[in-house]
Structure 1
């Protein structure tokens, strides 16, 4: 049981000003139930979430690779577990997922190097940005940067408020721990 000052908000306590969001993405995950303590922020977050999570020029698999690496670099158990699960749904092998904790080769390594540069240097060096733009397109480079920022903010919230991993994902991780780790 968490002693967080901002645990995920239950349906009965959901803020009236964002009532319509409870039945959508915001009510589906503990991260957004935690963010519901600040309804204005959650409401503003929705449009950026739509782009980063659903409409990114990176595509679903590259996005998950970026998120996995960012979760690893942040040390966010919630984001790591949730995105292991999402990556599996996309057909990624456990070995490929686990490799994002190290330095994979090829395109996955390019993604890892980019995320690392953003964490370590707070920017993409010119040569790396050019390599990414050549491989993925410039819009995807912008989306990679935005994805790292988006999931960093979520990680800060999750770890500050000790947000528990959602029950279905926790069950999956207990029953099917990541192999190849």
Structure 2
């Protein structure tokens, strides 16, 4: 039986030439993309979708973080959870609100409950109900609803990759959470 490949984050000195142009940008900033660089073609294809899902989403930063945190929790991804606790705080989410995203939707603020419930439906039912689609559309529009679905899919792929590779949480994020642990 062969052993599993080493998917440790790739150091600058070993960075694949095929994606050398991505190293100074987003790909060189986080361990998740340094892990993904083991598949340069995947990393290259990932870049435009990342731009939309992470930067240009119709959900806006705070709602996007709610989706990502609930997705990271559902996947049991310590990397995604830690990184997005820090990002959610930067977007103005309180520790109480962030911590609630690990629990039952009934204990969340109404908007978070709708969004987290939609994430749960995607994991559980593999589709959004007609009622959830209507409620999300009223809240964030059709593009926002589609972006929510895409965000769950995007971060699911990242979560599977991170969990499979055992990618370590980036040092600055680990330090930030050590200095200021999540309350609640």
| TM-score when normalising by structure 2 | 0.95
1:113 and 2:117 are equivalent in the alignment: yes
Contact 1:67 1:83 in 2 (8 A): yes
Q: Report the secondary structure of 2:160's partner residue.
A: helix
Deviation for aligned residue 1:92: 1.1
CA distance in structure 1 between the partners assigned to 2:12 and 2:102 by the alignment: 36
CA distance, structure 1, for counterparts of residue 114 and residue 5 of structure 2: 37
Pairing 1:74–2:78 present? no
| 1:44 corresponding residue in structure 2 | 45
Measured in 2, the distance between the counterparts of 1:126 and 1:138 equals 13
Q: Which runs of 4+ in 1 moved over 6 A?
A: none
Is 1:4–1:162's contact at 8 Å kept on the other side of the alignment?
no
Question: Is there any run of 5+ residues in structure 1 with no aligned partner, and where?
Answer: none
1:72/1:80 contact within 8 Å kept: yes
Tell me, yes or no, if structure 1 residue 154 matches structure 2 residue 155.
no
In structure 2, distance between residues paired with 1:164 and 1:141: 31
List aligned pairs for 1:48-127, cutoff 5 A.
Answer: 48-102=49-103, 103=105, 104-127=108-131
* Range with greater deviation from structure 2 (150-159 or 131-140): 131-140
**Equivalent position to 1:166, from 142, 165, 170:** 170
Distance (whole Å) between structure 1 residues aligned to residue 37 and residue 94 of structure 2 = 34
Structure 1 residue 133 corresponds to structure 2 residue 134: no
Per-residue deviation, residues 27-60 of structure 1 (Å, max 9, x unmatched): 0000000000000000000000000000000011
Q: Name the structure 2 match of 1:33.
A: 34
**Cα separation, 2, equivalents of 1:168 and 1:115:** 28
Q: 22-31 or 169-178, which moves further after superposition? A: 169-178
In structure 1, the partner of 2:18 is: 17
